[in-house]
Amino acid sequence: MSSRDLVLGRLRAALAEGGQPPVQVPRDYRPEGTLDLDQLVERLTDYRAHVHRVPEAAVADTVAGLLPAGATVVVPPGLPRAWLPSEVTTLTDDGLDNERIAAADAVVTGAAVAVAETGTVVLDGSPDQGRRVLSLLPDRHVCVLRADQVVATVPQALARLSPHRPLTWISGPSATSDIELNRVEGVHGPRNLHVILLP
């Protein structure tokens, strides 16, 4: 007998007695909420992300202001070039090795969805967001978000996302609660998270 048959057989035997009545799941919680961009900003800031609300034309200047002089920036292949300042060295991901990504000063990505209530940005690997490793190794992550990508609640965010893409939900910079249960920012992921919120 295979282990698969053994485990499934045991579980079926465990449930056999008395039969199992179907369970109705009550979904009386809020499916959606009223969108409030100020709430998103407040909650991102509360978890130590930096938020910049600028028009799209000002993205490149805003990015430039966040980086040291002569910085190297990793970008996914589909990122709008207009978002990048001319004075930085750009490494477009065409299969960059991990050491080079880790050595960069920052990564600039787009986003798929953001959740106002929880202060969360979700990346889904679309061409303007790229491979998961890009937004993981550099110490500074600049994420450009459009207002129409923001939803109020978690259920609304899941409804917009595809389970068939690799998803990364990001709520503030890397943090830990492992020392005396206090939240401390900055362990393995990017220690600086900047969200540029476009109208």
Partner 1 sequence: MTRTFLGMPATAPAGVGQLRGEESFPAAARRSLADPQLRRNLGHATRTIRAKSAGVIGELPDWQELRSAGSAIKADVLARLPELLEQLEAKVTEAGGVVHWAADANEANRIVTDLVRATGSDRVIKVKSMATQEIGLNEALAEAGIEPVETDLAELIVQLGDDRPSHILVPAIHRNRAEIREIFLRAMPEVDPALTDEPAVLAAAARRYLRQTFLHTKVAVSGANFAVAETGTLAVVESEGNGRMCLTLPETLITVMGVEKVVPTWRDLEVFLQLLPRASTGERMNPYTSMWTGVTPGDGPQAFHLVLLDNGRSAVLADEVGRQALHCIRCSACLNVCPVYERTGGHAYGSVYPGPIGAVLSPQLTGVADNASLPYASSLCGACFDACPVKIDIPELLVHLRAEAVEARRRPTAESVAMAAAAYTMDRPRLYEAAQRAARLSRLAGRRGRGLPPPLNGWTGSRDLPDPPAQTFRDWWAER
Q: Which of residues 50-79 bind partner 1 (CB under 8 A)?
A: none
Nearer to partner 1, 56 or 185 (CB): 185
Which residue's CB is nearer to partner 1, number 57 or number 181?
A: 181
Please identify, using beta-carbon distances, which residue of 68 and 183 lies nearer to partner 1.
183
Q: What is the DSSP letter of 173?
A: S
H helix or E strand, kind and range, residue 107: strand 106-109
**Interacting residue with partner 1 among 60, 114, 117, 192 (CB under 8 A):** 117
**Of the candidate residues 60, 150, 190, 192, the single one contacting partner 1 (CB under 8 A):** 190
Contact yes or no for 150/118 (Cβ under 8 A): no
- Binding flag, residue 103, partner 1 (CB under 8 A): no
Q: Which of residues 6-25 bind partner 1 (CB under 8 A)?
A: 6-18, 20-25
Count of Cβ atoms closer than 10 Å to residue 96 Cβ: 18
Tally Cβ neighbours within 10 Å of residue 168. 16
Element (H, E) at 196: strand 192-198
Nearest Cα to Cα of residue 84 among 95, 73, 94: 73
Site for partner 1 in 118-157 (CB under 8 A): 118-120, 125, 131-133, 136, 154-155
Residue in the block written with tokens 């889904």: 124
The reply on whether position 158 binds partner 1 by CB under 8 A is yes
45 binds partner 1 (CB under 8 A): no
Interface with partner 1 by CB under 8 A: which range of 61-69, 84-92, 112-120, 143-151? 112-120
Stretch that binds partner 1, among 55-63, 81-89, 142-150, 179-187 (CB under 8 A): 179-187
The span from the CA of 157 to the CA of 117, in Å, is 11
Spatial CB neighbours of 66, under 8 Å, sequence gap ≥ 6: 106, 140, 142, 194
Q: Is 4 in the site for partner 1 (CB under 8 A)?
A: yes
For partner 1 (CB under 8 A), the number of binding residues is 77
